[in-house]
Amino acid sequence: MWLVRWIKLSFGLLALLVMPLRLNAQVDRITGRNFATRSEVLARHGMVCTSVPAATEVGIDILKRGGSAVDAAIAANATLGLMEPVSNGIGGDLFAIVYNAKENKLYGINGSGRSPLGLSYNQMKAELAKLHRETVPPTGMLPISVPGTVDAWAELHRKFGKLKLSDDLAPAIHYAEEGFPVTDLIAYYWAFGPRLYKGLPGAFFETYTLDGKERTPAKGDIFKNPALAKTLRLIAEKGRDAFYKGEIADKIDELMRANGGFLRKADFEKHTSTWVEPVSTNYRGYEVFELPPNGQGIAVLQMLNILEGFDLRAMGRNSPETLHAMIEAKKIAWADRAKFYADPAFAKIPLPGLLSKSYAAERRKLIDPNHASKKVEAGNPALNQGDTIYLCTADDEGNMVSLIQSNYRGMGSGIVVPGLGFMFQDRGELFSMGPGHANVYAPGKRPFHTIIPGFVMKDGEPWEAFGVMGGGMQPQGHVQVLTNQIDFGLNVQEAGDGSRWQHEGDNEPTGEKMTESGGYVEVESGIPYETVRELRKKGHDVRFDVGGYGGYQAIRVEMHDGQRVFVGASESRKDGMAAGY
């Protein structure tokens, strides 16, 4: 991790030095806000927004062939797993919210996997002791849980697919065999892989370098992954059982047994996704939906409930007062997130209380308008009871998908089974090892998850599918892009292009406590320095940083003269694009 800290420090200093240059180098737009990087993308029949242009085009092609929004999402996700392995793949987990136009109803799916049944808490403690650690590491065998993505694809396809699953996976298989040019930002992150995963068992170097040694693809280099093509073809031909009950599971079991791993074929055979009811809060007339824990989506709803008590529009976008209120609301939500968010099969989560307006009103009283809090404890909501990729799609019938999928930290655990072409996630790193904690490690348990898809309804109709990938940035990013639109009137592209902030050093579900300084706030250079200065006066530790502010995609639904128009936006900080037809 020293390498990551050195990079962040270097970029932070660079951002501080070049900040005046950036402010003077703004483009001049005739329409829209001057900070917008591009116009919104408009289309009538279908829309796809992803972090890689080729994946967006794959989704559009699927829609034009008569595929549903779910078919397009699966096809784009499979392509991203190939083209953006630094963030996601079939070794990871998936969450999605699907809007079904015929029923005017939202469906949620939790496609996260569980820890090995054969690894007890005491065994985990003993393994950590061998590593001289008290927390689950980010690499190796210990953080690996069952990958849930393939089963989630199968469930989504069974319920909402129109094409064959083999049709959805065909473009990714084609690109994996033929090769594709690696995009700029992905190549940058890919280059860290050999240093991070050196010495681990498996086939990382064979799979993810061009020379089998340390040369990762630079921007424009052609990368092929024939092993992944073979794996995807097996899934296309034999369905999800090829992954969870067939030869893929056999190969995984073999590697784990030979190298001290704990997952077994039995863990894969018992895996299931879970259909869940999305939960929501009403924020100024907009019904904002997220998925319930084990994810962190309800932190968005808790923050919005607190912020509803402030007149943000009058306070002003990026003003010291607005950012102070947002940062303090985040700290309050994070205290509850650290204590209560966990696998509901193992912990009783006071969901109604956490999301109640009366609870938010009580918690809002903790915010001092003149001083940054240095310590925040979790509330007592029972009294009120009552980096990841994000993509979104929409089809001609009005169905929409908000989907997020991840290997968690970077490319994942570093473990690649020879011949399979994908890396396992390291999501188990997010378990707590504190006895009695809601998120404490246990066999067969889902860890706390950071990945969250979002959806907004307005007056009973779909308004926007949206998401912001990026670990703990995600709830903060959701709140920022939503308030940019709802409170400050930015369009869907401007909402993502606006400068962001992120608060770190806070209470976490893994057991970490807020730092003595109250954590720290990282800001992009577009945040006015006058705001930074005033925040520091209030006691915030404010730093400048480049990167780490997430990746946004969104599709909004607008009506023009009675006709529906999809309005798409894509993250300008990444390589992707929005496209429609």
Catalytic residues: 388
Provide the strand spans (E) within 20-155. 41-43, 47-50, 93-100, 105-111
Angle of CA points 354, 358, 360, to nearest 5°: 55
Report residue 361 CA to chain centroid gap: 29
Which helix or strand (DSSP H or E) is residue 204 part of? helix 204-208
Question: For 437, which DSSP code?
Answer: -
Give Cα separations from 386 to 299, 355, 390, 512 (angstroms).
18, 10, 33, 30
DSSP per position, 492-536: HHHHHHS--EEEES---TTS----TT--EEEE-TTS-HHHHHHHH
Question: For 285, which DSSP code?
Answer: T
Angle of CA points 289, 114, 128, to nearest 5°: 120
DSSP per position, 38-61: SPPEEESS-EEEESSHHHHHHHHH
| Buried/exposed code over 211-238 (b: 16+ C-beta within 10 A; e: otherwise) | eeeeebbeeeeebbbebbbbbbbbbbee
Q: How far apart are CA 175 and CA 53, in angstroms?
A: 13
CA Rg value for the chain: 22
**Count of other CB atoms within 10 angstroms of residue 352:** 14
What one-letter code names the amino acid at 84?
E
CB-count burial class (<10 Å; 0-12, 13-18, 19+) for 560:
exposed
Q: How far apart are CA 127 and CA 143, in angstroms?
A: 11
Residues 48 and 553: beta-carbon distance below 8 Å:
no
Strands 542-544 and 520-523: parallel
**Which residues make Cβ contacts (< 8 Å) with residue 410, sequence separation at least 6?**
86, 87, 189, 192, 193, 196, 387
